Amino acid sequence: MTGIGGGEVGARTARSRALAVLRVRSRALAVALLPAALAVILFVGGSTGHLPGRGWDLARWAVAAVAVVVLLLAVGVGLVVARARPAVSPTVPIPEESAPDLYRLVRDLAARLEVPAPSAIALTPDCDSWLEDRTHPSHGPVPGKDRSGEPKAPRRAVSLRARRTVQAPVLVIGSPFLWWMRVGELRAVLAPVVAGTGPSVQPDIAAARRFVRGLDAAVAVASAPGRRLPLRAVYAGLGWVVRLLLRGCREHAAGMERAVAAAAAERAQVVDYGLRIVAQEQVGLAYAGWDRLLTRVALPAWRMGRWPSRLDAGVVAALTELSRRDRLAEGFTSRLGERPACDLLEEPGSVDEAASLLAARLFHGGPAERGPDWSPVDWREYPDEVVDRKWRTDAARLQRVLDALGIRRASGSAAEAHGPTLARILEHLSAPSSGASGASGASGPGGSPAGTPGSAPSDPSRAKTPGAETSGAETSGAEDGLVAPVAPDEDTGPCTERGAALVAGLSAELAREERAAPATRTGPLSAAPAWDEGALPLFPLEPPRTGRELLVDHVTAMVCCAAMDTAGATPGLDWLDGPALLINGEKAADLAPRVLALVENGDPGPLRTWLIDSGIRLEKPIRLA
């Protein structure tokens, strides 16, 4: 059975809502034809002698002129709606030859549900699955030759053929599902999605969806910036008409989609209903692991110009680690002995790499191709290529800010002359306020403090650099969108004056680095269209870092560098928490609260005790990036 099932209430409701949407289109067409119909009546009345006189002649030509203008406007709106390219979700296409088992599973599922099989399959780096209509001419194949070498039909012929026979939509599957779920669980999760192809190929529902998508795309065309004044006025009128039509069919379109979902859920109950309940638990677990992997593990690598090439395999490792830590998840480890759904792919490694690159483009705005400043990184190389570099880069940035502020060690040990030390930042943040520090510091020949932590530098312009450039540089860095700017929240900033000065300097330094970054790294404000194939939109994973978080990250980086250079610690990767410091092969999990006490309260006691217990030397110089 294809199309709408006979007795399904949801399917009947969806069709009635689709007809309501199409009635909005018919009314708009009737309004556009009304002046022309009135002009025809007036001319017919004049030719038959029923409407004689000069006044009727003027009315006839006036109405005819209005009719011509309205028809031209209607034709223009119709052309824009028909030719506007609907938005398409960025995905990784999966040809049938690269996943024959996956296509076979989906077709068998569609046969059991008695609905048409999806026309193609694609993957998205997200924990969701849906059907997407890609029958618009702009989404079709480019005229030329196909894989077999046979010439393709012209795009217009393909589109006309597609309109005569409604095509099934494309099935978009979340890539984490393929790696975490078992084959049976994936079938159960996809059942209600595939069941939606039945209503999707119903002619009335397909026409209503095509009309709504065209209106939505026309709004984007009318809102595009960069036009001159005459065209801007024309497109403003176009946008007003299209938005009016959208408001008229919004409620009916939403009701149609809800009814389609209800009909699909009702039909899917005949397939693996009991397993679907268990599979839904895995959906929530996969979503949590995927979100944690992106924000804690992938994001630091993206900021370093590296993108992990096996994100989907990483989510399996992250969820396995979660099952090891959480006693409530003990049963999940037994699932790993079953066949994973990624075995349905011929080359899961290459598919994972493509999905990982797409995730980096979507959530960070990286370029579409690898390069010297944007290269993949394997999980085995992650500690050395990402964690170590990140810590040393942050530590070097903090040292530059300390130099710009003129911060020097009060003790004046010889080690400081050979390289930066952890004691420098520790003494600066733990010192008392500026007045007390000036009194307690050593005085120079002129009676002024010399070498006092937090004292003013000898060059006033040098001291002014971080603070003076904070506002403008922070704004520029936020616009670049490559490093999360500092959120201007007083409640989340450092609790000490010296910490606030360091935050201002770090913000300015980050902004300067972003302005000097290669132009190939695209940001969210790129001049390219939002859905252009070469520049994808940016969906930030995290809100801007607060001043406290920024300073904590940099102080932690200094501590980790000192631990690696003086105590033999090594960088590591925690699948749930990201970069980790390993001391004697074990993760240093108690470092964060001690650094927070130093940043917030200026209390070095807990951190100093931890450093001594771990064998970390404060006065030894460390190696920076």
536-555 tens-digit pLDDT: 556 777 777 888 899 999 99
- pLDDT value, residue 302: 93
Give me the percent of the chain exceeding a pLDDT of 90: 48
Distance between CA atoms of residues 85 and 68, nearest Å: 28
- pLDDT value, residue 10: 79
563 and 620 Cβ atoms separated by less than 8 Å: no
Q: N- to C-terminal Cα distance for the chain?
A: 65
- pLDDT value, residue 138: 65
- pLDDT value, residue 56: 86
CA distances from 105 to 114, 116, 185, 197, 541 (A): 14, 13, 12, 15, 33
- pLDDT value, residue 454: 38
Query: Quick one: CA dihedral 87, 15, 244, 37, positive or negative?
Result: positive
Least confident among 1-10, 50-59, 319-328? 1-10
Which of the listed ranges 19-28, 154-163, 234-243, 282-291 does the model predict with the highest average pLDDT? 19-28
Residue 273: band (very low, low, confident or very high) from pLDDT cuts 50, 70, 90: confident
Among 330, 356, 466, residue whose Cα is nearest residue 400? 466
Q: Residue 561 pLDDT more than 90?
A: yes
Distance between CA atoms of residues 86 and 139, nearest Å: 9
Residue 444: band (very low, low, confident or very high) from pLDDT cuts 50, 70, 90: very low
Q: Which residue has the higher pLDDT, 346 or 492?
A: 346
Among 581, 556, 579, 578, residue whose Cα is nearest residue 570? 581
Which of the listed ranges 74-78, 101-105, 447-451, 496-500 does the model predict with the highest average pLDDT? 101-105
Q: Residue 465 pLDDT more than 90?
A: no
Residue 1: band (very low, low, confident or very high) from pLDDT cuts 50, 70, 90: very low
Q: Residue 329 pLDDT more than 60?
A: no
Mean pLDDT across the stretch 598-603? 89
- pLDDT value, residue 18: 95
Residue 157: band (very low, low, confident or very high) from pLDDT cuts 50, 70, 90: very low
H/E/C letters for each residue in 491-529?
Answer: HHCCCCHHHHHHHHHHHHHHHHHHHCCCCCCCCCCCCCC
Q: Which residue has the higher pLDDT, 155 or 361?
A: 361
Q: Residue 248 pLDDT more than 90?
A: yes
Least confident among 98-102, 188-192, 492-496? 492-496
Give me the percent of the chain exceeding a pLDDT of 70: 77
Least confident among 33-47, 90-104, 405-419, 442-456? 442-456
Q: Residue 214 pLDDT more than 80?
A: yes
Among 131, 128, 132, residue whose Cα is nearest residue 189? 128
- pLDDT value, residue 517: 67
Mean pLDDT across the stretch 59-67? 92
Mean pLDDT of the chain: 80
Among 207, 216, 203, 201, residue whose Cα is nearest residue 86? 216
CA distances from 106 to 100, 181, 354, 458 (A): 10, 15, 22, 72
Least confident among 81-85, 252-256, 367-371, 377-381? 367-371
Strands 486-487 and 545-546: parallel
- pLDDT value, residue 541: 74
Mean pLDDT across the stretch 595-608? 91
Which of the listed ranges 1-15, 150-164, 290-304 does the model predict with the highest average pLDDT? 290-304
Mean pLDDT across the stretch 374-394? 95
- pLDDT value, residue 399: 92
Mean pLDDT across the stretch 322-331? 65
Q: With residue 445 as reference, give the H or E element that holds it.
A: none
In total, the chain counts a number of residues equal to 625
Q: Residue 309 pLDDT more than 80?
A: yes
Q: Which residue has the higher pLDDT, 338 or 349?
A: 349
Mean pLDDT across the stretch 211-215? 93
Mean pLDDT across the stretch 382-409? 90
Q: Which residue has the higher pLDDT, 586 or 6?
A: 586
Which residues, 6+ apart, have CB-to-CB distance to 81 below 8 Å?
A: 211, 214, 215, 217, 218, 242
Strand partners, 123: 92, 173
Residue 356: band (very low, low, confident or very high) from pLDDT cuts 50, 70, 90: very high
- pLDDT value, residue 419: 73
542 and 299 Cβ atoms separated by less than 8 Å: yes
- pLDDT value, residue 483: 38
Helices (H), ranges, 450-496: 460-468, 470-480
Among 580, 590, 486, residue whose Cα is nearest residue 542? 486
Q: List the Cα angle 519/521/522 in 5-degree steps.
A: 95
Among 123, 124, 210, 105, residue whose Cα is nearest residue 167? 210
Distance between CA atoms of residues 326 and 318, nearest Å: 12
Q: With residue 375 as reference, give the H or E element that holds it.
A: strand 375-377
Strand partners, 340: 182
Reduced to 3 states (helix: H, G, I; strand: E, B; else coil), residue 340 is strand
- pLDDT value, residue 327: 58
Helices (H), ranges, 271-347: 273-292, 299-303, 311-325
Q: Which residue has the higher pLDDT, 359 or 463?
A: 359
7-44 tens-digit pLDDT: 468 788 999 999 999 999 999 999 999 999 999 998 88
Strands 306-308 and 375-377: parallel
Mean pLDDT across the stretch 188-208? 92
Mean pLDDT across the stretch 504-529? 66
113-142 tens-digit pLDDT: 999 999 999 999 999 999 998 887 765 553
Q: Which residue has the higher pLDDT, 533 or 443?
A: 533
The letter for the amino acid at 583 is I
552 and 486 Cβ atoms separated by less than 8 Å: no
CA distances from 315 to 60, 189, 330, 379, 496 (A): 72, 18, 17, 12, 39
Which residues, 6+ apart, have CB-to-CB distance to 126 below 8 Å?
A: 174, 175, 176, 290
Reduced to 3 states (helix: H, G, I; strand: E, B; else coil), residue 159 is helix
Q: List the Cα angle 396/399/404 in 5-degree steps.
A: 130
Distance between CA atoms of residues 508 and 305, nearest Å: 20
Q: Residue 443 pLDDT more than 50?
A: no
**String of DSSP letters for 221-251:** HHT-S---HHHHHHHHHHHHHHHHHHHHHHH
- pLDDT value, residue 3: 41
